[in-house]
């Protein structure tokens, strides 16, 4: 039961952080957080995925997102050794995927609202908190799978 609380809390937390920041920060014209490092500015959204791939294929991206979310829940059912690292990584991935899915489904543009710029790397794509949590969640899940999956849980 405690593990489901961690998972659900992280999913809801990521979703709230993502949607609230998109609501308040997406329309910001330009705001420099750390000079020459990171800034906030609206770029009009991304109708594709990373680096603009598959732009304009909204239905396909919605279906892929839903299939991956369902697949992750099926995978989760079979994972026996669910520690805190696993629960957080799972919650971060699902929460991030849901945050971007909300934009694709409910915005008239069907584009994901991206607004974070890395000033020191001008060619890096604009991103949002959902993207950040997805990335961190995937890295944490890889660490879990490499180093902890299959190990006996200590009581």
Strands of the chain (E only): list them: 31-34, 38-40, 116-118
Q: Average per-residue pLDDT in the chain? A: 90
Active site residue 114: yes
Q: For residue 41, is it within any domain? A: no
Q: For residue 120, is it within any domain? A: no
Reported confidence tier of residue 34, pLDDT bands at 50, 70, 90: very high
| pLDDT beyond 90 at 49 | no
Q: For residue 75, is it within any domain? A: yes
Q: For residue 133, is it within any domain? A: yes
Q: For residue 153, is it within any domain? A: no
pTM of the model: 0.89
| pLDDT beyond 70 at 55 | yes
Q: At what angle do helices 129-147 and 2-25 cross, to 10 degrees?
A: 150
Tokens of 87: 């629960």
Tokens of 120: 């020191």
Higher pLDDT, 57 or 151: 57
The rounded distance, in Å, linking the Cα atoms of 14 and 92 is 6
| pLDDT beyond 70 at 128 | yes
Report, as an integer, the average pLDDT of 50-78. 88
Report, as an integer, the average pLDDT of 28-52. 84
Q: For residue 19, is it within any domain? A: yes
Q: What is the pLDDT of residues 144-155, one digit of tens each?
A: 999 987 775 554
The rounded distance, in Å, linking the Cα atoms of 36 and 56 is 32
Of 18, 103, 119, 131, which residue is the catalytic one?
131
How many distinct structural domains can be found in the chain? 1
Q: For residue 52, is it within any domain? A: no
Task: Provide the pLDDT for residue 44.
Answer: 67
Task: Provide the pLDDT for residue 51.
Answer: 64
Least confident of 1-10, 75-84, 146-155: 146-155
Task: Provide the pLDDT for residue 46.
Answer: 81
Q: Among 32, 51, 49, which Cα is nearest to 118's?
A: 32
Active site residue 103: no
Q: Which domain holds residue 11?
A: 2-28+57-112+129-147
Task: Provide the pLDDT for residue 148.
Answer: 85
């Amino acid at each position: 039961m405690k593990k489901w609380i961690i998972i659900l809390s992280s999913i809801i937390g990521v979703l709230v952080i993502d949607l609230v920041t998109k609501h308040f920060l997406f329309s910001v014209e330009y705001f420099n957080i750390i000079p020459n490092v990171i800034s906030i500015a609206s770029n009009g959204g991304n109708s594709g995925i990373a680096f603009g791939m598959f732009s304009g294929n909204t239905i396909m991206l919605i279906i892929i997102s839903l299939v991956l979310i369902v697949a992750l829940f099926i995978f989760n059912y079979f994972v026996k050794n669910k520690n805190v690292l696993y629960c957080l990584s799972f919650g971060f991935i699902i929460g991030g995927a849901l945050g971007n899915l909300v934009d694709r489904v409910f915005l008239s543009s069907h584009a994901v609202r991206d607004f974070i710029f890395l000033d020191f790397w001008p060619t890096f794509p604009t991103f949002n908190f959902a993207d950040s949590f997805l990335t961190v969640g995937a890295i944490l899940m890889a660490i879990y799978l490499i180093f902890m999956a299959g190990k006996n849980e200590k009581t």
